[in-house]
Structure 1
Amino acid sequence: MHWTGWALHTLRQTVEYDMRCKGLTEQQQRASLAERKTSPDFGLIQARLSRSVRLSLAMTERIRTGFIKRRDERAESGEEGRRRQRREHAAGMVAEAASRPEEGLDAERMRSLAWETLVEDEVLDAQLDTLSAAEFVQAVCRKIGHPPDP
Structure 2
Amino acid sequence: MILEESMLRILWLLVFVVITGLMFAQMVPVEIVNEAEDSTGRLLVTKFRDVIRSSPSYTITYASDEPHFKIKIDTMDRWKGDPENEGFSTIYNYTILLSYDGLDTYCYNQLGYAGRDTLDRVAYSFYSDLDEFIEAFLAILVNYLEE
TM-score range, shorter chain: under 0.3
- The structure carrying a bigger helix percent of its residues is 1
| TM-score, structure 1 as length reference | 0.25
Which one has the bigger strand percentage?
2
